[in-house]
Chain A
């Protein structure tokens, strides 16, 4: 049996709406992945604990504005600290162009802006997660 790609989709931070995250979660399921959806208001610690227990290949973070960029970086750092550095981290949301290189440097492997076709995200993940 072919091993399924496991993806954690989380919505860190305090703002309360997760429509985008849910749409992506469904699209990844339809692309054949097992998506663990953890919901709103996740701290970096919670995301990383869940990533460990669920043994995911990918962590997908959704946020609405660049103001939450530190959360992305926190998750990346904590994953590394916990020995999960081979986990692929992708982000989605409205992120100012100039912040993208900074995020990549911290280990966020791709950032998808609003309106990115879901296929593009799932294709990217499939390409990056080698088995």
Chain B
């Protein structure tokens, strides 16, 4: 196990990949390894990229990564796609757009399913970010599906969050209005080769104006054509600018605290749930309480208090 950690710290791809698998499966080996990993984390710049399905996130990540590589930086990519709620399986297809990075040993790509965490980020993502960070990657990029909770979660993990929208899609602007507006540090209107870019940029900018009124820093809105590598240089400059801004102000510290808070809550939640629902003594108790609830012999609150009482005493 110590061996595994030291190999991860040296950047060995086999060991990184294996530790990620162990973490994804809640293996006790991973838990103890993560304790040794944590002291070696904190230097990677974590970038979150979210946006509607098919907006070009993976293509954009590929182009950004090529620029980071030109600057001599190593990159870890975590590409998250939805787990099917029916089968528990997942079709993880983001690598298709990152073929050009496949043979670069300064790039490590890992695909993950959301694992049905109510549509949110799988809790193992926190571990994977730490593993890639500790393995020496200068930049860690997290791609999430643009539906529901995951995109809100991604800001808790990322130092810099990019929200991708595309022209012509009324819904992508609607999604922004519906709540993910607040999460972006940078907006990207991708597929700017399509008609309606100006209008989309204007719409996003007017939303930014509303949400930024009163704040000293205006959120930038950029347009890109990821497929033709256009506008990526400018995007990279904005990303660097945001990072410098974070470092100059107290924001960086604040952002990291947000991540660790989310991670801590998640670990506790997971442990508690496992404790209650996997422990056989509780299992029987829960079964019988459910029976009693359906027979109206007890109400759900009293039942919950009974279970919690057993843990908290």
Interface size on B, residues (CB 8 A): 29
Give Cα A15 to B84, complex, Å. Answer: 30
Partner of A38, one of B16, B87, B96: B96
- Asked if B187 is at the interface (CB within 8 A of a chain A CB), the reply is no
Beyond A1-B26, A50-B95, A52-B13, is A35–B87 a contact (Cβ under 8 Å)? no
Beyond A45-B103, A55-B21, is A26–B87 a contact (Cβ under 8 Å)? no
A49 contacts B89, C-beta separation under 8 Å:
no
Partner of A37, one of B14, B87, B96: B96
Interface mask (B96-132 → A, CB under 8 Å = 1, otherwise 0): 1001001100001111010000000000000000000
Give the chain B neighbours of A54 by CB distance below 8 A: 17, 109-111
Give the chain B neighbours of A3 by CB distance below 8 A: 25
Beyond A52-B17, A53-B17, is A38–B91 a contact (Cβ under 8 Å)? no
Beyond A41-B99, A45-B103, is A35–B92 a contact (Cβ under 8 Å)? yes
A34 contacts B109, C-beta separation under 8 Å:
no
Beyond A3-B25, A54-B110, is A32–B99 a contact (Cβ under 8 Å)? no
Give the chain A neighbours of B21 by CB distance below 8 A: 6, 55
- Asked if A14 is at the interface (CB within 8 A of a chain B CB), the reply is no
Beyond A45-B103, A55-B20, is A25–B91 a contact (Cβ under 8 Å)? yes
A107 to chain B, nearest CB (A): 19
- Asked if A128 is at the interface (CB within 8 A of a chain B CB), the reply is no
- Asked if A110 is at the interface (CB within 8 A of a chain B CB), the reply is no
Give the chain A neighbours of B92 by CB distance below 8 A: 34-37
Give Cα A75 to B18, complex, Å. Answer: 20
Query: B92: nearest residue on chain A (CB-CB)?
Result: A36
B109 contacts A35, C-beta separation under 8 Å:
no
Give the chain B neighbours of A46 by CB distance below 8 A: 99, 102-103
Give the chain A neighbours of B14 by CB distance below 8 A: 52, 83
Partner of B89, one of A31, A38, A39: A31
A33 contacts B25, C-beta separation under 8 Å:
no
A39 contacts B96, C-beta separation under 8 Å:
yes
Beyond A29-B90, A38-B96, is A53–B103 a contact (Cβ under 8 Å)? no
B266 to chain A, nearest CB (A): 15
Query: B112: nearest residue on chain A (CB-CB)?
Result: A34
Interface mask (B50-83 → A, CB under 8 Å = 1, otherwise 0): 0000000000000000000000000000000001
Interface mask (B2-31 → A, CB under 8 Å = 1, otherwise 0): 000000000001101110110001100000
Say what secondary structure dominates the interface of chain A.
mixed
Query: A10: nearest residue on chain B (CB-CB)?
Result: B95
Give Cα A88 to B307, complex, Å. Answer: 45
B289 to chain A, nearest CB (A): 23
- Asked if B42 is at the interface (CB within 8 A of a chain A CB), the reply is no
Query: B16: nearest residue on chain A (CB-CB)?
Result: A53
A39 contacts B26, C-beta separation under 8 Å:
no
A109 to chain B, nearest CB (A): 21
Query: A37: nearest residue on chain B (CB-CB)?
Result: B93
Give the chain B neighbours of A31 by CB distance below 8 A: 87, 89
Give the chain B neighbours of A83 by CB distance below 8 A: 14
A35 contacts B91, C-beta separation under 8 Å:
yes
Partner of A30, one of B16, B25, B89: B89
Query: B27: nearest residue on chain A (CB-CB)?
Result: A3
B37 to chain A, nearest CB (A): 17
- Asked if B88 is at the interface (CB within 8 A of a chain A CB), the reply is yes
B17 contacts A4, C-beta separation under 8 Å:
no
B18 contacts A55, C-beta separation under 8 Å:
yes
A36 contacts B89, C-beta separation under 8 Å:
no
Give Cα A77 to B90, complex, Å. Answer: 28
A38 contacts B84, C-beta separation under 8 Å:
no
Give Cα A1 to B102, complex, Å. Answer: 31
Query: A84: nearest residue on chain B (CB-CB)?
Result: B14
Give the chain B neighbours of A39 by CB distance below 8 A: 93, 95-96, 99
5 pairs of A and B residues whose beta carbons are closest in the complex: A39-B96, A55-B17, A29-B89, A46-B102, A29-B91
